Amino acid sequence: MNIANGLVLIFFFIIALNSQAAELILLAGAPKITANNSQVTDEQFHKNRQLQGGVIWRGDSFLGFEFLAISNMNSRTKESADVVGLYELNLDIKSLGGGVRLQLPLSGHWRIALRAGGLIHQTRMTVYESFYGLKPSGEAQTNDQGQGYYYGLAADYHGSGSLGFSLHWDEQYLPDVFNGSSHAFDVKISGFSAGLSYRF
């Protein structure tokens, strides 16, 4: 299923690149990552750094398509303690997404868009553990793949040249990460990102 989604994304990506109505975007942000399951509510991962790159096919005036590659890095929980010792978690999440844009041109230079689509993701969880100096500390990693979805808003500005500016607000949902394990959890990534766009 993940491979099929990826092939669909690549297919649309090629169409978009061949179109004369495409834009490349590169955005950076620091959206908030939270995890939820039956044991925690909105467990916070701090200091997340996000990079988004993608292609927007503008289509007609009101309907467009977008294909995104998103990387979330460096997020960490606060340090917790239990009977084992001290521990922190890190999530690195890489996603490919594709979706539609309902666009509304506001003037000759501005355009806003309502966006929604699907995601496939690869999530790497790193656990950092220490034991008060009584035993050697260390880290361990595990990976999972899955699907999710996103929705958001965009505001794009393009002057007379090819280069423009984009501001995105996204909410990404990745349900049941590590499904089948003892404590699968849902991930929500929400926040702003901003950057440049290049119009073909």
Partner 1 sequence: MRLFPLLIPVCFLSGCLSDPDEDTNISPIGVSLVFQADLPYGEQQMVMAAAAYVDGRPELLVGGDVLKVTADSVTSLLRENSSEDTFLRGNMPGSSGQSLQLVVAHDPLNARSERWYPAEKAWVDAGAGSLVGFSAVAVIPQELIITSPQTGTVFASRNNDIALSWSGSGGDEVKLVSTQSCYSGRDVIYGRYVHTMADSGTYTLTVGDIIPSEGALEAAGVVNNVVISFLDLMINIFVSGLGFGEPRSVNIRDFNLQYCTLDLALYRMAEGTLGAGVSGGKVSASRSDRIRLEYRP
Residues that bind partner 1 (CB under 8 A): 35, 37, 39-40, 43, 82-85, 87, 89, 125-127, 129, 131-132, 134-142, 178, 181-185
For partner 1, give the closer residue by CB, 2 or 143.
Answer: 143
Q: How far is the CB of 44 from partner 1 (least distance, A)?
A: 12
Other Cβ atoms closer than 10 A to 117: 20
Q: How far apart, in whole angstroms, are the C-alpha atoms of residue 185 and residue 43? A: 10
- CA–chain centroid gap for 71, Å, is 6
Q: How far is the CB of 129 from partner 1 (least distance, A)?
A: 4
Q: How far is the CB of 141 from partner 1 (least distance, A)?
A: 6
For partner 1, give the closer residue by CB, 178 or 198.
Answer: 178
For partner 1, give the closer residue by CB, 108 or 133.
Answer: 133
**Which tokens is 1 given?**
């299923």
For partner 1, give the closer residue by CB, 62 or 131.
Answer: 131
From first CA to last CA, the distance across the chain in angstroms is 32
Q: How far is the CB of 81 from partner 1 (least distance, A)?
A: 9
Q: How far apart, in whole angstroms, are the C-alpha atoms of residue 78 and residue 85? A: 14
For partner 1, give the closer residue by CB, 65 or 185.
Answer: 185
Q: How far apart, in whole angstroms, are the C-alpha atoms of residue 185 and residue 193? A: 25
**Which tokens is 22 given?**
């495409």
Q: How far apart, in whole angstroms, are the C-alpha atoms of residue 72 and residue 191? A: 12
For partner 1, give the closer residue by CB, 144 or 170.
Answer: 144
- CA–chain centroid gap for 153, Å, is 14
Rg (CA), the chain: 19
Q: How far is the CB of 139 from partner 1 (least distance, A)?
A: 7
Q: How far is the CB of 88 from partner 1 (least distance, A)?
A: 11
